Amino acid sequence: MEEDFFYEETTIEDSLINPGEKWKVMIVDDDEEVHKVTILALRNMVIKDRGLHFIHAYTAKEAIGLITQHPDTSLILLDVVMETEYAGLLVVDFIRNELKNSSVRIVLRTGQPGQAPEVEIIKKYDINDYKEKSELTTQKLFTTLYSSISTYNDIVTIEKYKNHLESLVQQRTHMLIEKTEALEDLNRNLEVKVKEEIEKRMYSERMLIQKSRLASMGEMLSVIAHQWKQPLNGMYLLIQDIEDALDFGQIDRNYIANYVSEGKNYIHFLDRTVNDFRDFLKVGKKRDLFDVANAVKEVLGLLSGLLKNLQIEVSFDIHEGESYITDGYENEFKHVVLNLINNSRDAIIQRNKKETDDNKTKGLIEIRIIGAGSRIMVTITDNGCGIPEDIADKIFEPYFTTKDDETGTGIGLYLSKIIIEKNMGGRLYVTNPGNGVSFTIELVAEHSNTTEGKKNTG
């Protein structure tokens, strides 16, 4: 049963109650009676626990102004024909296209439907419903209002969640950008710190190498001093003999010839010693193939006189005729061999200090070179004081030494390990054979060794 629009008379002012959390409903119609009837029918309506707040406009211009002020209006009941034939449609166009407000529900109410066909209007404009005034009973008006406001509420809720999610995405994106920038800064700072640490380490290694070279120069100067002692004594005696020869009338052409020959021999020996010293300290910047056995022999040639003077016997075991060729830095390898032999020498001297004269053990350094497939192994073994087991794993650390400050720098074995393992791709390690120690150098062989040899003792 249809219900009549007309209840007891009321005024528009009676509907102006506190909007609070109420739904805003805008009535746009140039007929005052339509406003009154609508309020009478809907004023007590409650949707989702919220009442209604009515906003009134009588022209398209007023409607445009009010919707601009109240963009949160949930529903507009809009007349089409007001000050112009299509005034209501202009309001729709403004709301949808100018304000970009797609949330508010718009229901067209017209008393002249023939001028604006329903299907055409809904297609052309974003209209949510189209009603003729003659068909809007109280019940139908209530139904239209309820469905429109419910739809508006869903749209606003979805939009709110959408905005919330977009806000969260923006926040997370901002946080991600900040963290990314922080990580980039950290990486840049880390790169700088790593570069600084590498430079510091390289500088320290250069200083250690320089210190090692100076130590090697000291060792070599000791060797030269020992080797020069005999020819210098010989030259001294040769010069002293001139006075005696003059007194005894022995100076003749033959005497002078022998004198010049012996003097030249002494000078050649001194010159050869200086050249050996210079070649030994020469820094090789380029990797090259070299004979490991010959390199060891050259070091022994420099040290043999000094070791013999200290009564230290050197045993050199090698397969003669074989070629122990490797790729690396020959002079650096010689420094390693020199350092290891000097360590053995110092260990023997240290052991002798603890022994009595009647019970001294003859010092012995055994050097052996063998080919082991693709490897060349050089072992240097001594019968010195040995290395305690509790410090055996520390001897290759920088500045670690068991010697006193005068004889030990703590960098020789450290740099020897760097030269063999880092620069030449080999291995350097130590074992305690029971009486003394044994250092082993492993290098990559350029070809295999096949022939048998013999043992040389020096």
pLDDT tier, 222 (very low <50, low <70, confident <90, very high otherwise): low
Please give the backbone phi and psi of residue 242, each rounded to the nearest 5 degrees, phi first.
-60, -40
> Percent of the chain scored above 90 by pLDDT?
23
State the DSSP H helix or E strand holding residue 46, giving kind and residue range, or none if neither.
none
CATH number of 12-136: 3.40.50.2300
Say what the pLDDT of residue 313 is: 92
- Round to whole Å and give the CA distance between 152 and 159: 10
- The average confidence (pLDDT) of the chain is 79
Please report, for the chain, the start and end positions of each structural domain, with discontinuous segments joined by +: 12-136, 285-457
**Residue pLDDT, tens place only, 42-101:** 888 898 889 999 999 999 999 999 999 999 999 999 998 888 888 988 999 999 999 999
Whole-model pTM? 0.46
- Round to whole Å and give the CA distance between 341 and 364: 11
CA dist list (Å): 177 to 165, 168, 190: 18, 14, 19
Q: Which of 113-122, 203-212, 312-321 has the highest mean pLDDT?
A: 312-321
Say what the pLDDT of residue 436 is: 85
Say what the pLDDT of residue 16 is: 37
- Closest by CA position to 430, among listed 443, 417, 440: 440
pLDDT higher than threshold 80 for residue 14: no
- Provide mean pLDDT across the span 237-256: 79
Among 7-21, 84-98, 214-228, name the one with the lowest average pLDDT: 7-21
- Closest by CA position to 303, among listed 339, 262, 327: 339
- Closest by CA position to 89, among listed 125, 114, 53: 125
Fold agreement between 12-136 and 285-457: no
3-class DSSP assignment, residue 161: helix
Count of residues for the chain? 458
Which fold does the domain 285-457 belong to in CATH?
Answer: Heat Shock Protein 90 (3.30.565)
Say what the pLDDT of residue 243 is: 78
* Inter-residue contact 57 to 30 (CB < 8 Å): no
pLDDT higher than threshold 50 for residue 7: no
Say what the pLDDT of residue 209 is: 63
Say what the pLDDT of residue 458 is: 41
Q: How many CB atoms lie within 10 A of CB 244?
A: 9
**Residue pLDDT, tens place only, 372-416:** 778 999 999 998 888 777 776 777 776 656 555 454 455 678 778
- Round to whole Å and give the CA distance between 80 and 74: 19
> Percent of the chain scored above 70 by pLDDT?
76
